[in-house]
């Protein structure tokens, strides 16, 4: 069949449409125009041994003429083919959802999902309930980003944009079934300038504080579904900016040096994480109490309030927030706040996303002895989980670790790792951008499509892939989802009664509860 050169790509596309997509044997269609011969090879996507398992095109020439322009045009025309094939990566209602254990309920399995047996047998293949919970807690961490005011031209930069009692409803997350009981703040005086955000205006809400997360409790309806009352702590991290890694002192110091109880002085954590967790600023009404004091007093109050119910404490965070999640989980367990007055132990679980190493090997051993369960979700292309401890970490030989374990630069990951690979998703660009590899929404997308080692990537929950580009440029362009698309209308500006555009005033910012002194006394932090 001869075709004119201008129409060759259209003819190829038409012929491919008339070819059965699910071919049982490779089929070759040849076209010739002038000195150029093109061969279209359609390979059965279900039998292909290639990693992406997609139909591919091959252009051949018997001359020395450059093929780049023709192949480029051919690629544009085959975009439609890629889109059709990627429909195979969406789950249908009769697929994975009906596999596994029909009728299995979270209320009956929540202890296993929370790491009672270190998630043995639940990760490969991926357990459906566990996947759902990992996405749900990841969304609680993502809410910290979506609710944070990053705008340096806002006088509220560094705060949460929504009132505590309207936090989830403002984000469209009412269905999660949690009520925020407390906002968390940290002083920005420590050396992590790429983590803290400050307004450029001279008159601001605080010169020393940043909002870094929240504590929430499941409501009655959600508690019935979960099988227990869940106390959730979510820590804010960094969306895509990775400069904060360079700000780390990369220096271990004893966790007991900041009055965190520990019987072993060789248990050490990274110095910057410890400062962020324990520092306070007496002159700032938001940082009068450290993040540590804010967390422990609220957990003490809630465990006593719901002491008669089945309870769990679940802590989640992404990036730097993951480090704070692990550190606060250790603190809650070490101080005994996870033990009810009846003597029953409340399970403490951390779901970490793209988190760095936090402490040394002795810290890992102490955390395990306290019974804290940690599941770390990582992207194998992300640099953050490989830091700090670039040279001395859990992956080096035991002999070398034995030699270096007492050094101030010897780190060790804690818990169980679930390693994902964004190259397995047909929706994402094969980019090496470290910010994309670190993105939390991308991690949740990868969780949605992961079914086990060697399994085909298939989205299972109906979660919209467009969320990946909320704060990144990671989706393939033909989805027509603009990068970094999430933003406030008119950057938050509104028209007042005079017709002028102004920044609206916000309701009074949450500070600290009036009974802080009472709970600090009960914790033994203060005398009467």
DSSP string, 203-269: S-S-SSEEEEEEEEEE-HHHHHHHTSEEEEEEE---SS--THHHH----EEEGGGGT---S-TT-EE
Q: Which of 325, 372, 333, 327 is nearest to 352 (CA)?
A: 325
CA neighbor of 79 nearest in space, from 36, 27, 16 = 16
Alpha-carbon span 320 to 213, nearest angstrom: 12
| Adjacent-strand bridge partners of 90 | 459
Phi first, then psi, for residue 60 (nearest 5°) are -125, 150
Q: Are 293 and 302 spatial neighbours (Cβ–Cβ below 8 Å)?
A: no
Active site residues: 319, 382, 438
Helix (H) / strand (E) containing 31: strand 27-33
DSSP-derived 3-state class of residue 26: coil
Q: Per the omega criterion (within 30 degrees of 0), is the bond before 388 cis?
A: yes
User: How many C-beta neighbours within 10 Å does residue 345 have?
Assistant: 12
For residue 148, CA distances in Å to 167, 211, 236, 408 come to 11, 8, 9, 34
Cα 291 to Cα 236, 316, 325, 366, distances in angstroms: 12, 15, 12, 22
- Alpha carbon separation from 499 to 494, 495, 503, 504 (Å, rounded): 9, 5, 13, 13
Q: Which helix (H) or strand (E) holds 324?
A: helix 320-334
d(CA 21, CA 159): 52
CA–CA gap between residue 302 and residue 230 (Å, rounded)? 10
Q: Which two tokens stand for residue 225?
A: 């579904």
HSE of 262, CA atoms in CB hemisphere, 13 A = 24
């Amino acid at each position: 069949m001869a075709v004119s050169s201008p129409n060759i790509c259209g003819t190829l596309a038409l012929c491919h449409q008339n070819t059965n997509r699910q071919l049982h044997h490779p089929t070759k269609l040849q076209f010739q125009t002038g000195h150029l011969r093109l061969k279209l090879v359609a390979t059965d996507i279900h039998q292909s041994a290639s990693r992406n398992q997609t139909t591919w095109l091959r252009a051949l020439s018997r001359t020395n003429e450059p093929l780049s322009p023709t192949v480029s045009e051919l690629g544009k025309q085959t975009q439609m083919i890629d889109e059709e094939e990627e429909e195979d990566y969406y789950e249908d209602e009769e697929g994975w959802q009906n596999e596994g254990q029909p009728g299995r309920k979270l209320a009956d399995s929540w202890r296993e999902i929370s790491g009672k047996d270190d998630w043995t047998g639940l990760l490969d293949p991926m357990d459906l309930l566990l996947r759902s919970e990992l996405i749900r807690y990841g969304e609680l961490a993502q809410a910290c980003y979506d609710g944070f005011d990053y705008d340096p031209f806002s006088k509220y930069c560094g705060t949460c944009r929504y009132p505590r009692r309207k936090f989830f409803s403002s984000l469209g997350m009412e269905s999660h079934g949690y009520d925020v009981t407390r906002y968390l703040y940290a002083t920005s005086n420590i050396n992590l300038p790429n983590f803290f955000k400050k307004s450029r205006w001279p008159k601001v809400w605080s010169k020393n504080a940043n909002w870094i997360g929240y504590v929430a409790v499941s409501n009655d309806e959600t508690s019935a579904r979960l099988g227990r009352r869940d106390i959730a702590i979510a820590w804010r991290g960094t969306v895509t900016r990775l400069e904060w890694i360079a700000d780390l002192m990369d220096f271990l110091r004893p966790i007991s040096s900041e009055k965190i109880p520990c019987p072993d002085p060789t248990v050490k954590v990274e110095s910057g994480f410890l400062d962020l967790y324990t520092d306070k600023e007496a002159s700032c009404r938001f940082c009068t109490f450290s993040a540590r004091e804010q967390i422990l007093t609220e957990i003490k109050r809630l465990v006593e309030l719901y002491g008669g119910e089945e309870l769990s404490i679940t802590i989640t965070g992404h990036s730097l927030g993951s480090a704070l999640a692990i550190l606060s989980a250790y603190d809650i367990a070490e101080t005994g706040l996870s033990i009810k007055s009846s003597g029953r132990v409340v399970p403490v679980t951390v779901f970490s996303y793209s988190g760095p190493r936090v402490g040394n090997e002795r810290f890992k051993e102490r955390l395990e002895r306290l019974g804290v369960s940690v599941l770390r979700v990582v992207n194998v292309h992300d640099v953050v989980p490989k830091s700090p401890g670039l040279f001395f970490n859990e992956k080096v030989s035991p002999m070398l670790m034995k030699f270096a374990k007492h050094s101030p630069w010897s780190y060790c990951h804690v818990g169980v790792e679930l390693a994902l690979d964004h190259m397995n998703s047909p929706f994402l660009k094969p980019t090496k951008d470290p910010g994309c590899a670190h993105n939390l929404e991308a991690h949740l997308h990868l969780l949605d499509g992961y079914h086990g080692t060697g399994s085909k990537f298939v989205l299972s929950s109906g979660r919209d892939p467009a969320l990946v580009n909320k704060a990144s440029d990671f989706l393939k362009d033909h989805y027509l989802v603009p990068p970094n698309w999430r933003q406030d209308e008119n950057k938050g500006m509104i028209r007042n009664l005079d017709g002028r555009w102004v920044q609206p005033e916000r309701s009074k910012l949450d500070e600290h509860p009036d009974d802080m002194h009472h709970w600090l006394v009960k914790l033994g932090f203060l005398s009467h």
